[in-house]
Amino acid sequence: MEMQNQIKEYVAQYEKEVRKLADQLRNECMPQPTEELFSEFETNGNRMRYEAVYFGRRKFLSVLGLASVIWHEKEDIQKLEEVIREICAEECWALPAHVRRKENPNWRGVIDLFASETGQTLAHITTLLKDELSEEVITLAQNEVKARILKPFIESKVPYASWEQATNNWNAVCCGNVGSAALLLMKEGTEKKKLLERLNYALENYYLEGFGMDGACQEGLGYWVYGFTYFTLFALAQREYNPSKDLMASEKVNAIAHFQQKCYFAGGRTISFSDGDSRGTYPMGLTCCLADQYSDIRFPDTLYAQKLDGDSCWRWVGIYWNWYWTHRYLDDVQNKKAEEPKPLEQSGMCILQDAQWCILRGAKQTAVIAKGGNNGESHNHNDVGSFQYLADGEAFLDDLGAGEYTKDYFSEKRYEIFCNRGESHNIPIIGDVDQKAGKEYCADRFELTTDRNILISFAKAYGIESQKAYREIWLDENTGKLTVCDYIQCRPGVEVCENLVTRLPVSVENDSVVIHGEKHCAILHAEGRKGEFKIKTVEHYNHQGILENINVIRWEVCCEEPQNSKIGIADSKICLQITE
């Protein structure tokens, strides 16, 4: 009952924030896009200045749209009509990073993530407010959606673009938006039927194929939220339209739906592998929606539920359905149609075998999350064999997650950027060689033993022949103590270094390293060390473009060379203990 009341408080506060912001936006003008801003990505790779304007405009559309749906006030409706007219007058609904003006004469009509979102938003708002918006605005908006989104997609050959056959979030977002708009705006007939068949084929044979049967999203938790929200929206709308077609019914989709609850830890910490986020907030609406569909969904602490301003893109689907799905779930709980919300489990272990992720939880709200996998994953970082170590809401050994998205970030220069390289992860450096990018650079063994040991073999990730690299990770369930043992076999004379990464302050004290958290410290001891600990500070631009200082802890490992042998053997043991 306590969590149920917290969710009620959440949605009540959410509505207050909508009302307050809508009142503010009534008296403001939308920011204006310019050619100068649009062209910045082409000239210097910067996305952020144009996107700040673009998403600032979606803020008006989404907030005033939801305020109009909740309260039906004349002033909101009038302002919303102004906003819709301006959105319809935009030269291009896609982002500069997703169009190639020099190569594509039809760049203005490109359907990308955000063009499809804009189309779905206008289709949905004008349907919800069909009795309150003027006929002129409804006709204008719906004609624009048909001309910019539905008609080009219907008339295109398969694939419309690479996203139609992609196994990542792009497929779900774009197909989900096109499908949702079609269900709202298209008349019954062969054309609509064929379009829905095409979209279902893309979602079932590509998007869902991007997941293993374990349901893990290797792109990162944020991309799970992004893609699966739009998948769920379309799946439920289609099921209501045609009950015989239920995309939510499969075993794999059930597993995908349960992925989020495996990724949250104390203090709102999350798994941040690939382009993830270590402090991501969760979508209350989607979580409520899934709890309506599946009886064993668990909720992270409501303190970490996304607030109204939590999405810098101001997506309508997140903002509206966050409100609607939460209300519906609370009503269903009240009417005994759904089970009361359940909190996260605080102990135990979990392995996601297809993704090669493993999660161990222990005392003092500790957790270690390790990965095998390969270096050809979507939104890949070169991080095979890496891990995170969390305690009581703090990341003592971190995974930096997504960096700032620039032109270089998604180019051949990706692995020149610190956060995508092996050296920014908790993995050994062998012979000053970074891990290599590509699916063939992978772990060839990944398992969880019955006594809670994670075993990883990951030499292939470095692309060096005649080399072995084994890692064993163990978290003491009763004390929260972490032990990592590495065994590395390489050519004689090759230097092997341990390499650990944290955002927290670090000091070397009494032959150990102390990582200083706000609530606790972690004491690091290293066996098999040769020489001194070296602490290096590296500048890193995070996903928000904010400069951070990252502390890299490195030391050389003693390497034995058996007599008459052509190999060197490095044995290393790392122990971390949390102190009060």
pLDDT digits (tens, 9 = 90+) for 11-37: 999 999 999 999 999 999 999 999 999
What is the predicted pLDDT for the residue at 355?
96
pLDDT digits (tens, 9 = 90+) for 304-358: 999 999 999 999 999 999 999 999 999 999 999 999 999 998 888 999 999 999 9
Crossing angle of helices 316-334 and 113-128, in 10° steps, is 50
571 pLDDT exceeds 70?
yes
Between CA 580 and CA 523 the distance in angstroms is 11
Q: Do the beta carbons of residue 67 and residue 105 sit within 8 Å?
A: no
Q: What one-letter code names the amino acid at 547?
A: L
Domains of the chain (ranges; CATH) run 2-343 (1.50.10.100), 348-579 (2.70.98.70)
For residue 92, what pLDDT band results from cuts at 50, 70 and 90? very high
- E strand or H helix at 120: helix 113-128
For residue 563, what pLDDT band results from cuts at 50, 70 and 90? low
3-state DSSP call for residue 242?
coil
Strands 394-397 and 438-442: unpaired
What is the chain's mean pLDDT, rounded? 95
pLDDT digits (tens, 9 = 90+) for 176-210: 999 999 999 999 999 999 999 999 999 999 999 99
What is the predicted pLDDT for the residue at 207?
98
pLDDT digits (tens, 9 = 90+) for 228-268: 999 999 999 999 999 999 999 999 999 999 999 999 999 99
Three-class DSSP labels, 414-443? HHHCHHHCHHHCCCCEECCECCCCEEEEEC
Average pLDDT over residues 149-153: 98
For residue 564, what pLDDT band results from cuts at 50, 70 and 90? low
pLDDT digits (tens, 9 = 90+) for 457-515: 999 999 986 689 999 999 999 999 999 999 999 888 889 999 999 999 999 998 999 99
